[in-house]
């Protein structure tokens, strides 16, 4: 039985006082019965680490450079994330792919850089609405995952995968549990062909997860938790989603 994982992706939201309140509410609502983490903007990593140290809550970043160090203005390396106690780094989020032109190989290189420093990459895959309507969902997510599997090679079993259909992100239009499970099953089969650890690996669902739809999504056999955007900014909603996974 895989233990569920719920990760809040704060995206570019927050402020020091708002974060302090949110983090203290999350700490105060333990235990959850599942693993819980928040992926925060880089400048807030330090205070997030202070707020969560001593609890079983984890934290991470929303991106990670593919490079170890050097003249890469604006980038943050996996080694730096490790220094701040990051357990996770989201890589390949559709907003990075869309707004920063990140391609499959760059995403794979970022995942490898994270793992190299002991930071677990949460690798996001997912199709756009046009790709779904064209019947290309399977081909798109397979291609995205395959680049990471090949690059990580024998370490592929150490990543977390997140299926986030782009059309469901921030739209209030959630994939049905059946739609999500169908893609998760494909991803699991692809992982099974690549690594003996596939049956233990976590595949999260992300895209308009809310307290009222979380339990049915999480009850699907290959859905091992969620990557939560908007609802992770409201303590009561995020806590309710974590409870639905526990």
| Residue list 23-82, contact with ligand 13P (CB under 6 A) | none
Residue from 137, 181, 208, 213 in contact with ligand 13P (CB under 6 A): 208
| Residue list 89-108, contact with ligand 13P (CB under 6 A) | 93
Q: Does 126 sit near ligand 13P (CB under 6 A)?
A: no
Q: Does 169 sit near ligand 13P (CB under 6 A)?
A: yes
Q: Does 164 sit near ligand 13P (CB under 6 A)?
A: yes
Q: How many Cα atoms occupy the beta-carbon half-sphere of 241 within 13 Å?
A: 31
With CB under 6 A as the rule, give the number of residues binding ligand 13P.
Answer: 14
State the Cα torsion 173-128-207-53 to the nearest 10°.
-160
End-to-end CA distance of the chain: 13
E-assigned strands of the chain? 5-9, 35-39, 58-61, 88-91, 120-125, 160-163, 203-206, 225-228
8 A C-beta contact, residue 57 and residue 27: yes
Residue in the block written with tokens 């399977």: 138
Q: Does 121 sit near ligand 13P (CB under 6 A)?
A: no
* 164 in catalytic set: yes
Pick the catalytic residue from 67, 93, 102, 158: 93
Q: Does 206 sit near ligand 13P (CB under 6 A)?
A: yes
Inter-CA distances, 209 with 122, 166, 227, 231, 242, Å: 17, 13, 8, 7, 11
Judged by CB, which is closer to ligand 13P: 97, or 195?
97
Least separation in angstroms between CB 91 and ligand 13P: 11
8 A C-beta contact, residue 42 and residue 61: yes
Q: Does 230 sit near ligand 13P (CB under 6 A)?
A: yes
Q: Does 165 sit near ligand 13P (CB under 6 A)?
A: no
Q: Is the torsion defined by CA of 104, 110, 114, 116 positive or negative?
A: positive
* 184 in catalytic set: no
Residues forming a β-bridge with 163: 125, 205
Judged by CB, which is closer to ligand 13P: 181, or 232?
232
Q: Does 170 sit near ligand 13P (CB under 6 A)?
A: yes
Measured from each CB, the residue nearest to ligand 13P is 229
Residue in the block written with tokens 């099953």: 185
Contact set with ligand 13P (CB under 6 A): 9, 93, 164, 169-170, 206-209, 227-231
* Residues that are catalytic: 93, 164
């Amino acid at each position: 039985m895989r233990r569920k994982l719920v990760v809040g992706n704060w995206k570019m939201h927050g402020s020091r006082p708002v974060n302090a309140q949110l983090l203290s509410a999350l700490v105060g609502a333990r235990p959850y019965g599942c693993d819980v983490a928040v992926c925060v903007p880089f400048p807030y990593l330090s205070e997030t680490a202070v707020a969560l140290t001593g609890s079983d809550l984890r934290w991470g970043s929303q991106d990670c450079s593919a490079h170890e160090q050097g003249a890469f203005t604006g980038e943050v390396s996996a080694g730096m994330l490790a220094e701040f106690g990051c357990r996770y780094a989201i890589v390949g989020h559709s907003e990075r792919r869309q707004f920063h032109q990140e391609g499959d190989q760059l995403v794979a290189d970022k995942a490898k850089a994270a793992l190299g420093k002991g930071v677990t990459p949460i690798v996001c895959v997912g199709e756009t609405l046009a790709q779904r309507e064209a019947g290309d969902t399977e081909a798109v997510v397979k291609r995205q995952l395959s680049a990471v599997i090949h690059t990580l090679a024998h370490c592929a079993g150490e990543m977390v995968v997140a299926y986030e259909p782009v059309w469901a992100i921030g739209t209030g239009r959630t994939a049905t549990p059946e739609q999500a499970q169908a893609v998760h099953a494909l991803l699991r089969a692809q992982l099974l062909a690549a690594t003996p650890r596939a049956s233990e690996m976590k595949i999260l669902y992300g895209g308009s997860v809310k307290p009222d739809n979380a339990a049915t999504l999480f009850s699907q056999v290959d859905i091992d938790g969620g990557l939560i955007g908007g609802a992770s900014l409201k303590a009561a909603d995020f806590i309710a989603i974590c409870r639905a996974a526990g």
